[in-house]
Each structure stands twice: as structure tokens, then as C-alpha cells.
């Protein structure tokens, strides 16, 4: 049979909600009728001095309120009302008459406190303005004190090149100069290390240079690897048989950080002649990063060298010899603890004097980070003493004796011995 005029069933949402309310009210009434000793097996929650405030039966008694508190509440309500009236109609204060003297005293105190707040606020604002103005004055004075030389603004020439970031280059290098202090290794760690001596460190560094050259890695990778190794040894001590593993792990981390395509772990295991497995190198990587707290933000000396080379008109020969002298500073243990920016400036200074370039002028001083010849004197003397001594790092010497690096190591040693024989002070101004 076909049922005609069949109406669809429509559910009333309001009816459902009302039914739910009825059921909630029923359940709540049932719960309210339960006795209070249903959870008597659990310990009672008790505050301090519970023997005086809490009852033994566990039934909460009504709070006792003294009459004084009630009267004080009513007084507070009465005191608030006149303040509201006066704030709403401040022009009619003379018309409003308050007979209670206590209320008048409180109103006067409020007005005085408001006036004091306004005065203190204005004084604080004026003090802030004065502090900011004094800071600006001191900064300007410091800048004027530092800038005692004339220099050319070479960054303005790169305003059209977005890759040179000429608008932010000063702030970037200010940050790098601050960061290099945080990433300096301990200059005295070789004195308390039992298993690592200066001679052993020079052998390790020379081996790292050999592996670095075989893998054809960037110069930044070499500097970062040596920095990682020195910073690690400034905090931890290792056995003699683990020193090469430390050098391998440091170069492995640095290549990952600097290179686009870093060598695989198999290559590093092969370079060690089977001395360490791939798992050992990976474990060393994790341990080194944990000791350094994963801080690899090392301001590379190559960045400072390129910055100075800008003031040298990007001369290739000067910068190539400067790169050799800059790598000298990571080979010799006497340079540990010296800032990379200072080493870069000293390397560039010696390179320019070697090639007979003009004297260290204000532009070079500015783009080196403000280093003068007096600041570089100690580092320059260390570089010259390394060049005049017999060759210790053979792989390092062979690397820069090739035509690719313009035979920088050979030229530098010949020039240094000539300077030593003629007793020429290269820190003096050229005639």
C-alpha cells in the first residue's frame, strides 16, 4: 500500500535540549542526595593548622565573618561612590558637597597621588630622552675618536649590486668582530693537555691540510676544521690514539658546514687507512658537536681577508700570498687565541710589503676593522719568525709552492730571510 500525505519526521532540537536539561537536573539531584561519607576511606585534605580550622567530621562549616568586616565593606562601598561622581562630573566639583571628612581626606590623597604619578611619569620620560641623547652623543664621540684617519668609501660603488649588500656591510662586520671573541679557543690549552703537545698538533694540522688538498675543499673548510679541533681540545682531553679521529671528525663537520658537496664518510675512513670505521667517525662527529654545543658560527678569516682586499683593489697576487700567510696562523700553535680579523690584517700587511705596495693607509685601516700598524706588530713578528725557521709542515709548504698559488711559500721564505739578513724593520714607513 502506498501511504499518501506522509509527513517527514522533524526533530526538535530545543526539545532535545530540554530533555537533556531534565536528565541533568535529575542526575544532579541524585548526586546531591548521596551521603558525605562515601569517600571516607581517602585521607582528608588538610591545610596548615588543620586541627584548629578543619572539623573532624569533614563537613564544611559556614565561614565566620566578624561584624567589623561587614562594616568595613559597607564603608568601602560608600567611599567608592563619591569618587565615581566626581570623576564623571569634574566641572561640578564645587557644587558637590561631601560632609564626611574621612572621604574628603581620601579624595585629597587620591588627587595628590595622581599628581605625583604624573610628575614621576614626565620625569621618567625626560630621563629616558636624556639617556638616549647621552648614548647617541657618546657613540658619536667614540666614532669620532676612532676615525682619526681619512678613508675612501668603497662600498658606495657597490650600491647597484644586491649581492654586495652595501647597506648592511658595516653591521655585518661589526657582528663578526663580536662573534670572533666568542669562538676563540683557549690559547693555553697545550700547556695542560697531557697527550697533545705543540709538535703533535703541527703533525695533525699538516695531515688535515693534506686531506683538505686531496678532497679539493674550500679554504673556509680548512679554517673551520682547525677552529673546531682547537676549541674541542680547549674543553676535553683525548688519548693519543684518538687524536687522528678528532682531526677526521673536525674536517668532516667543517666540510658539511661549508661545502656544497661534502665527501662521504667512506672517503674519510679510506683516508685514515682503515684506522677508523664509518661508525666511529659518525660517533666522533656527534661527540664533538655536543662538546661545542653545536656552535659552529665561526667568523672565517677569509671573510676579513676579502674585505681588506677590497681596499687593495682586489689584487690577485697580494691576496694569494695573503692566503698563504693567513694559513700560517693556523699551522703554528703560537697564533692560538689571536682574533682571525687581526691575523687577516697582519697577513695582508706582510703581503703588501713583500710586493712593494704603498704603505698601510687609512682606507686599509678602515676596511681591516680599524687595525693600525701598532696593533699588528706582534702578529707580524710571529709570521716573520715562522718564515725564517726551517720548514716544519712539508705538505703545507708543497701546497703553496705550486704554480696554482704563484709559489707563495717559496717567495715568502726568500723575502723573509732577506729581511732578517739586512735587519730591515718592515713596520716602519716606506720612504
Summarised one tens digit per residue, pLDDT across range 235-284 is 998 888 899 999 999 999 999 999 999 999 999 999 998 889 999 999 99
**Per-residue burial over 358-381, b = 16 or more CB atoms within 10 Å of its CB, e = otherwise:** eebeebbbbbbbebebeebeebbe
Global confidence as pTM: 0.66
Superfamily of domain 300-431: Cyclin-like (1.10.472.10)
Bigger pLDDT: 44 or 376? 376
Q: In which residue ranges of the chain is CATH 1.10.472.10 found?
A: 169-298, 300-431
Q: In this predicted model, what pLDDT tens digit does every residue of 116-166 receive, in sequence order?
A: 665 665 555 455 444 544 444 444 444 444 456 788 888 888 888 888 888
Convert the pLDDT of each residue in 352-381 to its tens digit.
999 999 889 999 999 999 999 999 999 999
Q: Which residue has the higher pLDDT, 42 or 108?
A: 108
* Predicted confidence band of residue 12 (pLDDT cuts 50, 70, 90): very low
Confidence of residue 193 (pLDDT cuts 50, 70, 90): confident
Residue 254 contacts by C-beta under 8 Å, 6 or more apart in sequence? 221, 222, 224, 225, 228
Q: Is the pLDDT of residue 90 over 50?
A: no
| Residue 196 and residue 339 in contact, taking contact as beta carbons nearer than 8 Å | no
Q: Is the pLDDT of residue 73 over 70?
A: no
Q: What is the pLDDT of residues 293-324, one digit of tens each?
A: 999 999 999 999 999 999 998 999 999 999 99
What is the 3 state secondary structure string of 284-349?
A: HHHHHHHHCCCCCCCCCHHHHHHHHHHHCCCCHHHHHHHHHHHHHHHHCHHHCCCCHHHHHHHHHH
- Distance CA(329)–CA(344), nearest Å, equals 9
Q: What is the pLDDT of residue 117?
A: 61
Q: What is the homologous superfamily of the domain 169-298 according to CATH?
A: Cyclin-like (1.10.472.10)
pLDDT at 97: 45
pLDDT over threshold 50, residue 48: no
What confidence tens digit (pLDDT) does each residue in 408-421 have? 999 999 999 999 99
% of the chain beyond a pLDDT of 90: 52
Cell of residue 80, nine digits: 567608592
pLDDT tens profile 31-41: 444 444 443 44
Predicted pLDDT of residue 149: 73
The per-residue pLDDT of the chain, averaged, comes to 77
18 or 382, higher pLDDT: 382
Amino acid at each position: 500500500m502506498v501511504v499518501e500525505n506522509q509527513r517527514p519526521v522533524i526533530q526538535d532540537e530545543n526539545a532535545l535540549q530540554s530533555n537533556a536539561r531534565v536528565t541533568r537536573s535529575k542526575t544532579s539531584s541524585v548526586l546531591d542526595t548521596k551521603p558525605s561519607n562515601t569517600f571516607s576511606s581517602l585521607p582528608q585534605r588538610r591545610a596548615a593548622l588543620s586541627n584548629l580550622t578543619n572539623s573532624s567530621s569533614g563537613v564544611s562549616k559556614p565561614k565566620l565573618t566578624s561584624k567589623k568586616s561587614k562594616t568595613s565593606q559597607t564603608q568601602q562601598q560608600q567611599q567608592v561612590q563619591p569618587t565615581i561622581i566626581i570623576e564623571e562630573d569634574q566641572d561640578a566639583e564645587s557644587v558637590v558637597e561631601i560632609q564626611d571628612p574621612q572621604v574628603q581626606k581620601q579624595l585629597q590623597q587620591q588627587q595628590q597621588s595622581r599628581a605625583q604619578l604624573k610628575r614621576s611619569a614626565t620625569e621618567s620620560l625626560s630621563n629616558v630622552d636624556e639617556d638616549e641623547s647621552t648614548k647617541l652623543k657618546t657613540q658619536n664621540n667614540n666614532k669620532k675618536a676612532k676615525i682619526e684617519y681619512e678613508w675612501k668609501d668603497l662600498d658606495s660603488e657597490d650600491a647597484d649590486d644586491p649581492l654586495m649588500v652595501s647597506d648592511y656591510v658595516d653591521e655585518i662586520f661589526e657582528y663578526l668582530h663580536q662573534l670572533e671573541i666568542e669562538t676563540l679557543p683557549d690559547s693555553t690549552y697545550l700547556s695542560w693537555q697531557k697527550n697533545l703537545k705543540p709538535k703533535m698538533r703541527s703533525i695533525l694540522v699538516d695531515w688535515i691540510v693534506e686531506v683538505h688538498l686531496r678532497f679539493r675543499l674550500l679554504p673556509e673548510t680548512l679554517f673551520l676544521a682547525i677552529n673546531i679541533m682547537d676549541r674541542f681540545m680547549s674543553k676535553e682531553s683525548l688519548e693519543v690514539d684518538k687524536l687522528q679521529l678528532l682531526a677526521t671528525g673536525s674536517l668532516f663537520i667543517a666540510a658539511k658546514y661549508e661545502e656544497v658537496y661534502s665527501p662521504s664518510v667512506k672517503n674519510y675512513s679510506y683516508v685514515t687507512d682503515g684506522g677508523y670505521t664509518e661508525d666511529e667517525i659518525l660517533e666522533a662527529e656527534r661527540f664533538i658537536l655536543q662538546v661545542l654545543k653545536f656552535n659552529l658560527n665561526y667568523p672565517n678569516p677569509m671573510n676579513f681577508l676579502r674585505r681588506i682586499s677590497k681596499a687593495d683593489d682586489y689584487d690577485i697576487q697580494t691576496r694569494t700570498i695573503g692566503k698563504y700567510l693567513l694559513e700560517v696562523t693556523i699551522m703554528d700553535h703560537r697564533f692560538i687565541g689571536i682574533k682571525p680579523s687581526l691575523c687577516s690584517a697582519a697577513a695582508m700587511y706582510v703581503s703588501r710589503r713583500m710586493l712593494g705596495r704603498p704603505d698601510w693607509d687609512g682606507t686599509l685601516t678602515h676596511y681591516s676593522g680599524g687595525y693600525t700598524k701598532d696593533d699588528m706588530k706582534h702578529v707580524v713578528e710571529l709570521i716573520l719568525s715562522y718564515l725564517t725557521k726551517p720548514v716544519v709542515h712539508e705538505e703545507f709548504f708543497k701546497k703553496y709552492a705550486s704554480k696554482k698559488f704563484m709559489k707563495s711559500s717559496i717567495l715568502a721564505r726568500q723575502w723573509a730571510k732577506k729581511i732578517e739578513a739586512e735587519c730591515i724593520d718592515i713596520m716602519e714607513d716606506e720612504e
